[in-house]
Amino acid sequence: MKIAVAGTGYVGLSIAVLASQKHEVIAVDILQEKVDLINKKLSPIEDHEISDFLANKKLNLRATTNPEEAYKNAEVIFVAGPTDYNSEGNFFDTSVIEKIFDDIAKYNKNAIVCIKSTVPVDYTINIKKKYPGMKLIFSPEFLREGKALYDNLHPSRIIVGEQSKDAEVIANILKEGSLDADTPVLFTSSTEAEAIKLFSNTYLALRVAYFNELDSYALKYHLDTRQIIEGVGLDPRIGSHYNNPSFGFGGYCLPKDTKQLLANYEHVPNNIIRAIVDSNSTRKDFLADQILAKKPKKVGIYRLVMKEGSDNFRASSIQGIMKRIKAKGIECIVFEPALKEDHFFGSRKVTSLEEFKRESDIIVTNRHHNELDDVKDKVFTRDLFTRD
């Protein structure tokens, strides 16, 4: 089968690699440098499994910047372009993927088009009116940054937002490339599939927010957060997963998806959904105050990326802490090897780790790193479980 994948971020590239084990796949992106790397069997993103598969597996995969080349003969097209939440307009910005739909309508009206980008509830039904005749199907992704291909190889579930032969084609492509034979497959309507994606991520954000607020309480009253979390987690109904305190939820998905779900609640009574969104700002306010109370003259921000093995700065929670500290007139410096520029939001990048340690009065890091062990008295983190 001939498959095209629009977008080579972590969602699109992981699908392209997954499918190219058994099918002919063309990935398309607007950035020539990303296309060149893929064609050299190098990953343009941080993902161990993607890098390994590109380098060592026999894949029928190539990349191009030419949408006509990618789409014209494709039987299936996966759309994995970026969408983002527009806070000012209170809506999801889907303009990038609609440009992709325009190209598909121009070059190939017969392909099955599977939307993997996150979209608002009711989006697929409404967008079909704009592109009559296009076989649009929504299928949510449940992938972690830096582990996207691993999560496609070992999916928790496959959900396809249509009950049809075309939907079965999509499910089979996703399932046959995975390594787990017993993955649950659920066929729903498009609207329910869209809701599943937003409610799943908002629940994860709820869990992050819960343990962060537990930690804020413990910090305020000088209690041992770890002991409390371990005791709470011994209840099997709660468990000991996804419980490590942090500076807040961030990255590609959780901030925008929680805000989008809240926007969908405009005419529905709610308390919890609003609280989840608000909790993220409250947490950053509280932690910034904790840092400022130590009266530092210069604060070092260690790593801007969301997590180990990621190259994504977007909406990383540590940025919120940094901006609050800077707003109080405190100088910040940044240690981030993945940062190409010399400054980040007006703060100087320090390339030498030893110089960074020496200059910083306090070093703020979302997660523990062994290379900070020699200055652990300077380190401010709420990470309690990474080293376990």
Q: Please say which residue of 188, 205, 235 terminates a domain.
A: 188
pLDDT at 309 over 60: no
Shared domain check, 37 and 141? yes
Number of domains within the chain: 2
Do 203 and 170 have their domain in common? no
pLDDT of residue 341: 92
Structural domain contains residue 385: no
Domain match, 48 and 158 both: yes
If asked whether residues 170 and 306 sit together in one domain, one would say: no
Q: Are 55 and 176 found together in one domain? A: yes
| Weakest mean pLDDT among 60-64, 143-147, 165-169, 357-361 | 143-147
Residue 9 has pLDDT above 80, yes or no: yes
Residue 386 included in any domain = no
Q: How many CB atoms lie within 10 A of CB 95?
A: 12
- pLDDT of res. 206: 97
End position of a domain, from candidates 149, 165, 188:
188
How does the average pLDDT of the chain come out, rounded? 94
Q: Which residues pair with 160 in a beta bridge?
A: 187
What confidence tier does 11 reach under pLDDT thresholds 50, 70, 90?
Answer: very high
Model confidence band, residue 91 (pLDDT cutoffs 50, 70, 90): confident
Considering the domain boundaries, does residue 388 fall inside one?
no
Contact 115, 159 (CB under 8 A): no
Q: Are residues 167 and 305 in the same domain?
A: no
Domain boundary among 145, 168, 188: 188
Q: What is the pLDDT of residue 315?
A: 72
Catalytic entry in 104, 253, 273, 276: 253
Cβ neighbours of residue 10 under 8 Å, at least 6 residues apart? 45, 47, 143, 145, 146, 148, 252
Q: Is 147 in the same domain as 232?
A: no
pLDDT in tens, 18-31: 999 999 999 999 99
Domain co-membership, 34 together with 167: yes
114 is catalytic: no
Domain shared by 154 and 279, yes or no: no
pLDDT in tens, 185-238: 999 999 999 999 999 999 999 999 999 999 999 999 999 999 999 999 999 999
The pLDDT of residue 142 is above 90: yes
Residue 296, pLDDT > 90, answer yes
Mean pLDDT, residues 11-15 taken together: 97
What's the pLDDT at 250? Answer: 82
- The Cα 134–Cα 103 span in angstroms is 12
Domain assignment of residue 122, yes or no: yes
Question: Is residue 181 domain-shared with residue 205, that is, in the same domain?
Answer: no
- 27: domain CATH number? 3.40.50.720
The answer to which of 90-99, 171-180, 334-343 has the lowest mean pLDDT is 90-99
Instruction: Judge whether residue 88 has pLDDT over 80.
Output: no
What the block records as the tokens of 230 is 């371990």
Are 6 and 81 a contacting pair, CB within 8 Å? yes
Say if residue 122's pLDDT is above 80.
Answer: yes
Domain of 169, in residue numbers: 2-188
226 and 145 in a common domain? no
Q: Is residue 292 part of a domain?
A: yes
Q: Are residues 214 and 339 in the same domain?
A: yes
